[in-house]
Structure 1
């Protein structure tokens, strides 16, 4: 059976490009021709409006007559005429972001193929610092958005670049420039190994971001503090959890990690950081002398805590807390994903397998490092 590309007479790369251009033309053209319906009622309502509301620390944003207003009262937001945008995600926006992610990953595959890179497992490890950087960079915005803080480092509209989901585009763009720049530098003979430079660039931007957060924590700027015990407990807990999971895999089911090797261990460790950061942040901050326990913001985290509260007897819950099942869920899910990437997948399409594993690690390590650093710096 002929593929879509064969039927229209275009190679997959050009077909992807034509599709992206057509989508952009439809959105831009629709916004110009029908601004109230396409832009205000769809693009702004579900995608840009929530970012604006978050960037301005508003309860909601309202779009009326082509003008955006920010409201600080829940009752005023409830009484406002649509479109009304609240900080955070909606079902429509989450579907839109998933579609965008699929389109972007497809484009990245084409780019890696064109550059003839991405098949070496070292490429995976070279990008790990960028995943930590994404989480740390998001905490910079958290520090600027701390209630009662007036000395914000980044203000509107620049702070939209570090607010979800725009921050993913920002970090992706920085990473993409680093990848292309490192490859070009190698092929022009400036350096001998582009992956070493790529790892170095990621480490450098991460170091600068952590340096700013450390300065803010030590000086109290942007309302930040510094709780090193939280950082140590989370890193140690995640390392122990990942090592125990790895030992169980190697001892009883080594075929789970036969395809991924050390990449599988890093994936499990990244998701362990996410799990342990939630356990510490939601249940053990007070016990560690690091301020009040945090409140779960993500629906999955809240659902896990609510389930634990409703099933565990009060005396046991008082000792264990309610977030620990989330760590188990993360470890099981990460192990299951690693199991999927067997040796056959790497033999048939190593570039695509490595790219997907990068995405899997980013899903855990990105929010996990953010939660870890938020708890560490009290923002």
Structure 2
């Protein structure tokens, strides 16, 4: 982006803003001129339709003549004409979200550079509570979507459903960051990271308190299975600790660049992996209700491949989700290996934010799955 900006004689931030506006104009213009092809067939089908279906607790949503209908029967969904949107993700939507994430990260880098913050590693750890908050906030919608009188209804509940919830959490985090920087500039605090951590912990504790209340209040939508929480956290810490010990002992160069950040990244993805293993295979064995259902294409693919490859006698003992944990640990380790000291020196703000994003795509869904299983929703 900077090289292109230099050739055009335009500031990188202005070039980024112009590119974003051009993309939005093309998307909005295409939706207005070719509504069925662009909006119904792409925007709604892969992005907004799944959110609507999820928010209305429907099996699927269909788009007919410019209107949306919700179906609550699997057979009717299978027989419906495209476009049909199901709750959850598709490969197309996940690629789209990755593109949006990278564009957003570039914009935040420009903001941090303007504010002259974020070049040290303390920002990564300061944002950690907000990653937990994002996963916990998603469970609030799961709780309020239970078969009782909903506290948060459509369309307000779309703010708590992926991918809209990412914008919700981003807005809360950005406001907290700006407020913390303001407090530092006014000399109310010595470092902006202190109030930033405080705000993150406050919103996280508030969210967890609501989830706990939903589980203990008489007639509430949730239950409470503390054994699930203990098993997931213990399993994630043990598996991540083993990987980290092996790296420190046999391949210290892998984590030489990231240091403690690398350990947190691997642990965050271990939480995601173990939460899937426990939630999809071991809920019944732990006396915590029925097993969950995988919602991400990668999860479903790994489960399907494992189930079709291993003998039934082996699956009865191991379950069919454990390869997902292995994939998460290997992928996180490879990512950590890519971040050496030179990357931190060349672009510190972008590197820190990219690591936060990498942590978030593991620990965020992992926190949601862990809390869903813990509170039985």
- State TM-score, norm by structure 2: 0.94
Q: Distance in 2 between matches of 1:262 and 1:4?
A: 35
1:81: how far off? 4.4
1:82: how far off? 4.1
Asked whether the 8 Å contact 1:151–1:221 carries over to 2, the reply is: no
Q: Distance in 2 between matches of 1:309 and 1:90?
A: 21
Deviations 1:320-346 (A, max 9, x none): 222222212211111111111112212
1:362 paired with 2:366, answer no
Structure 2 partner of 1:100: 100
> 3-state SS of the aligned residue for 1:69?
strand
Q: Distance in 1 between matches of 2:247 and 2:86?
A: 43
Q: Which moved more, 1:30-39 or 1:368-377?
A: 30-39
Q: Which moved more, 1:257-266 or 1:31-40?
A: 31-40
Q: Distance in 1 between matches of 2:247 and 2:195?
A: 33
Q: Distance in 2 between matches of 1:89 and 1:288?
A: 28
1:6 paired with 2:6, answer yes
Q: Distance in 2 between matches of 1:288 and 1:80?
A: 39
Change (3 A) 1:132 1:74: same
Structure 1 partner of 2:290: 292
Select 2:200's aligned residue among 186, 199, 202: 202
Q: Which moved more, 1:110-119 or 1:200-209?
A: 110-119
> 3-state SS of the aligned residue for 1:62?
strand
1:125: how far off? 0.3
> 3-state SS of the aligned residue for 1:101?
helix
1:171 paired with 2:158, answer no
> 3-state SS of the aligned residue for 2:253?
helix
Q: Which moved more, 1:149-158 or 1:124-133?
A: 149-158
Q: Which moved more, 1:349-358 or 1:305-314?
A: 305-314
1:122 paired with 2:119, answer no
- State TM-score, norm by structure 1: 0.93
Q: Which moved more, 1:344-353 or 1:70-79?
A: 70-79
Change (3 A) 1:278 1:84: closer
Q: Once superposed, what is the RMSD of the aligned Cα atoms? A: 1.9
> 3-state SS of the aligned residue for 1:254?
coil
Count of equivalent residues: 376
For residues 1-379 of structure 1, the aligned pairs below 5 Å read 3-146=3-146, 149-219=147-217, 223-379=221-377
Q: Which moved more, 1:48-57 or 1:121-130?
A: 48-57
Asked whether the 8 Å contact 2:141–2:152 carries over to 1, the reply is: yes
Q: Distance in 2 between matches of 1:63 and 1:321?
A: 38
1:80: how far off? 4.0
Q: Distance in 2 between matches of 1:204 and 1:162?
A: 18
Q: Which moved more, 1:93-102 or 1:303-312?
A: 303-312
Q: Distance in 2 between matches of 1:222 and 1:163?
A: 21
1:23: how far off? 1.9
Change (3 A) 1:76 1:233: closer
Deviations 1:131-187 (A, max 9, x none): 0001000111111223xx131111000000011111111111111111111111111
Deviations 1:229-255 (A, max 9, x none): 110111111111111111111111111
Asked whether the 8 Å contact 1:53–1:87 carries over to 2, the reply is: yes
Asked whether the 8 Å contact 1:144–1:222 carries over to 2, the reply is: no
Q: Which moved more, 1:161-170 or 1:348-357?
A: 348-357
- Gap runs ≥5 in structure 2: none
1:76: how far off? 3.4
Change (3 A) 1:222 1:100: farther
Q: Distance in 1 between matches of 2:89 and 2:104?
A: 20
Q: Distance in 1 between matches of 2:35 and 2:312?
A: 54
Q: Distance in 2 between matches of 1:57 and 1:124?
A: 35
